[in-house]
Structure 1
Amino acid sequence: MSDEKYPDYDPKIVQDFFDNHYVDRGMLKWQGYYLSDHTSALNKEAEEKQRHFEPKALQSMAEISQRLATAYANIYRVSIQCYAHNSEGKLSADIIGHVKGYDDVSVYIEENGFLRLDDIRHVTVLKP
């Protein structure tokens, strides 16, 4: 089957090329499409995983609740260290933000969302 515009076109030759001669570079061909901000975000994430965070003094639930209440009442920011570990088994970075509300089981940190109180190991109130 040939086309009037392309009289030398032969679909069998094209199929033979793709079946036997063309080498697909796979994902390599897409690497040029990464945006610089995406690349820098990936680099930052890799650096964060490598950082080591020392465990802070373990606090009681009463002390954690008291510090969260103080921060909430005075509109202070808090730095919260959780029990959670990253994929390398190291403690994750502290969660920092303003306490916008809490109840018996969770606290809402404006910049980070809800955290369960029993996931928190240490709270530091950051006064201005």
Structure 2
Amino acid sequence: MNNKDFDMGIVNDFFKYDYHDRGMIKWQGFYLSDHTAALNKKNADLNQEYRYKPQQTLEKITSILAEAYSQRRQVVIQLNELDRNNVNLPDVTTLIHGYNANEIVIDSNKFVRISDIRNIGYV
């Protein structure tokens, strides 16, 4: 068959009137159980709500920080930061590795301002 004999009208009519695309239904059989488990876990992680804990006073925060630093105890820190969806960021579980006047040093040599801490407690 050459290009002269090829009738585009037949092809266009087939896709316009006879062919019915089933959309995503035809792809559902390709998902394996480990794929769906990974997708479900990712979805659960994304939908998990991080509740606001009450704002603690500066005195309470600094006393817990000082005790955690001196006794090498792990703490759970909730920061006053929101992600782009206005959801509170996950709590940070860490040791306090050091401090200066307005900041503490947590894991990976990350500095956190004391004024950014909403709530802190022991693990």
Class of the TM-score when normalised by the shorter of the 2 chains: 0.5 to 0.7
Letter in 2 for 1:53: Y
2:103 corresponds to which residue? 106
Question: Cα deviation per residue 1:27-78 (whole Å; 9 max; x = unaligned)?
Answer: xxxxxxxxxxxxxx99877654432111112101111011011100110001
* Runs of 4+ more than 6 Å apart: 41-46
1:55 corresponds to which residue? 52
2:72 corresponds to which residue? 75
Pick from 119, 122, 125: which aligns with 2:122? 125
TM-score by length of 2: 0.61
Structure 1, unpaired ranges of 5+? 1-40
Q: 2:54 aligns to what SS in structure 1?
A: coil
Structure 2, unpaired ranges of 5+? 1-37
Pairwise CA RMSD: 2.4
Q: Distance in 2 between matches of 1:89 and 1:74?
A: 35
Change (3 A) 1:100 1:90: same
Question: Cα deviation per residue 1:9-31 (whole Å; 9 max; x = unaligned)?
Answer: xxxxxxxxxxxxxxxxxxxxxxx
2:34 corresponds to which residue? none
- Paired residues in the alignment total 87
TM-score by length of 1: 0.59
Q: Point out the structure with the larger helix share.
A: 2
Q: Distance in 1 between matches of 2:51 and 2:65?
A: 21
Q: Distance in 2 between matches of 1:102 and 1:45?
A: 35
